[in-house]
Chains A and B, each alone.
Chain A
């Protein structure tokens, strides 16, 4: 039973990362009906940026650790948001009115480009996050030893998701995003600047993805230039599980996938962990293609 709960909390921590990345996929898919394949690599980029800021700006030495991490998070989110914005302008904006395959191929190209740019800059080997910031202690929660890092990760991802949820549900800009996702033409008629909203979505999504990258670096301690492909695909699967285009769905899907994967690795076999995610995807698409929370079925898939 202890093993079960350990795997459960581990799954939730990783699931938080999946959920944060999945939000970027689901928001972009919501407004553009495009799988942004480069999103996984923006996540990697965030991870590397976080490491760079921590090491080269000596953030971890000069400031109290908590403050250093907060500043680093904000810097990473800002930088990745900017690169998301540039990516959209360079690779997707010129393809707004072309067949969907064109934009998908462009996204794949952008993904290859980003991944190799990161590799050329940082090198093809594993990079290590500074150890001083990785808390290895654990606390006793209801008789269970839970590593503090998991609790911190889960709280940060839940905090970011709540912030996004309130932003999209309660603010004027958030309403505009939902309007564009529902019907672009009608949103334009209501006076919403659709291009600005799409730019905004391409900044929010990558910002969350970048934050997820930093969390991953802090959790596992090592990162690699090509990890974005796998995490990106899994996060996209999480978005489909929850119902693509649906923001709470992406959060739920991410957590669910994280927990299922941790359970699968523990009770079936760790070697089949990656295959499990794809198996879940195929099963979901056969039996409930709109996902768990997806309700819009106007478009037949």
Chain B
């Protein structure tokens, strides 16, 4: 990493750490929402951006997580943070169950089915199944999150919790992007048939990424439940799913910086133009159409993967020693990357 970008990163870190002290509770609350949408967007990005599966039902998994926490906390008095792993696990299991029969569906069919999953989950919650979900009023959580006796209930407390989660998420998903798993997902996105022919078990990978994204959304549901205090079905509607979908698509599917920017713009901009309150969704719809016409790859499209073949070959001295003295590195015929052409898509 260059010094300049290190400095930039450090600067951004300092700003993020100081920000809530400058901003006041109202804006901190907004920053928290932004953070939640960012992490949710990143987890949806795994499915929609990396693997290219048209998934519009992410709020269903979020809802499973939030309700797991709410039910355990209100009916069984379980400390909230302890419910987080279970929320993730249940959301992941639900995703596996829901996605297994429909995972083979092509593009827009999957889209409609995932919308259906959101609606079915929402209606189930409204109908107060087994008397657990509290119907359309939802559930009220009274006890706050506590970490080693420290109680988290003010916006600024949540801010640091969400920031920490966001940083962990970004690092993990960045590593995942550059792993064997991430490469397989990208392969499936670009050409599923070719991926399958070269030995990638596409169903396995598609299901895994669904489950992984859902686990993340479920765990985030716990934080959301603790923050909002009243967990009700309105928070998990179809339009919420569309919003998340738009964050990934407008930001740049498959690109982590893109999703960060998308979440920032979509949750932040409407607040800055509060006078235009009633027009904002109108403008949002128009912006979606315009984006697709003028910049369909998103604001920050993912960078093309670049591999340094010479460096890779250097790990095999025998291969180098037999070839390099004759041909010379970097001349025609050597598959060395050319940074100027291979930089971006």
Contact = CB atoms under 8 A, between A and B. Distances in A.
Which among B105, B107, B116, B279 has the greatest number of chain A C-beta atoms within 10 A? B116
B127 interface: yes
Interface in A181-237: 229, 233, 236-237
Contacts of B249: 101, 105
Interface in A88-146: 90-91, 94-95, 98-106, 108-117, 120
Contact of B102 (A103, A112, A282): A282
Contact of B288 (A106, A120, A301): A106
B9 interface: no
A236 B115 CA distance: 12
A104 B109 CA distance: 11
B116 A282 contact: yes
A65 to B, nearest CB: 36
B115 A233 contact: yes
Contacts of A300: 106
Interface string B38-64: 000000000000001010000000000
B219 to A, nearest CB: 26
Q: Which of B124, B284, B285 has the most CB of A within 10 A?
A: B285
A147 interface: no
Contacts of A106: 288-289, 292-293
B123 to A, nearest CB: 4
Interface residues on B, range: 35 or more
B8 interface: no
A110 B289 contact: yes
A61 B113 CA distance: 46
Contacts of A271: 123, 126-127
Nearest to A90: B289
Contact of B285 (A100, A111, A237): A111
B292 A109 contact: yes
B289 A91 contact: yes
Contacts of A301: 105-106, 109
A113 to B, nearest CB: 3
A109 B238 contact: no
B110 to A, nearest CB: 9
Contact of B105 (A90, A272, A285): A285
A247 interface: no
A103 B292 contact: yes
Contact of A116 (B54, B117, B281): B281
Nearest to A117: B282
A42 interface: no
Contacts of A289: 105, 109
Contacts of B339: none
A91 B282 CA distance: 14
A233 B116 CA distance: 9
A278 interface: yes
B124 A275 contact: yes
Contact of A108 (B101, B106, B109, B245): B245
Contacts, number: 123
Interface string B202-233: 00000000000000000000000000000000
Contact of A94 (B107, B113, B120, B293): B293
B101 A286 contact: yes
B288 A282 contact: no
A108 B242 contact: yes
Contacts of A282: 101-102, 113, 116
B326 interface: no
Interface in B106-137: 106-109, 111-113, 115-117, 119-120, 123-124, 126-127
B288 A108 contact: yes
Interface string A256-285: 000000000000010110110011011001
B113 A109 contact: no
A275 B119 contact: yes
B102 A285 contact: yes
A240 interface: yes
Interface in B268-285: 278-279, 281-282, 284-285
A272 B119 contact: no
A281 B120 contact: no
Nearest to B126: A271
Contacts of A102: 292, 296
A236 B111 CA distance: 12
Nearest to B98: A282
A237 to B, nearest CB: 7
B287 interface: yes
Contact of A278 (B106, B119, B126, B285): B119
A233 B288 CA distance: 20
16 contacts: A108-B245, A108-B246, A109-B284, A109-B288, A109-B289, A110-B288, A112-B281, A112-B282, A113-B288, A115-B285, A116-B281, A271-B126, A282-B102, A285-B105, A286-B102, A289-B109
Given A95-B296, A271-B123, A282-B101, 18 more contacts: A91-B289, A98-B292, A100-B108, A101-B249, A105-B245, A109-B284, A109-B289, A112-B242, A112-B281, A112-B288, A116-B281, A233-B119, A269-B127, A274-B123, A279-B116, A281-B116, A282-B102, A282-B113
Across the A-B interface, give the 4 residue pairs with the lowest CB-CB distance, nearest first: A109-B288, A113-B285, A112-B285, A278-B116
Interface of B: 52, 54, 101-102, 105-109, 111-113, 115-117, 119-120, 123-124, 126-127, 238, 242, 245-246, 249, 278-279, 281-282, 284-289, 291-293, 296
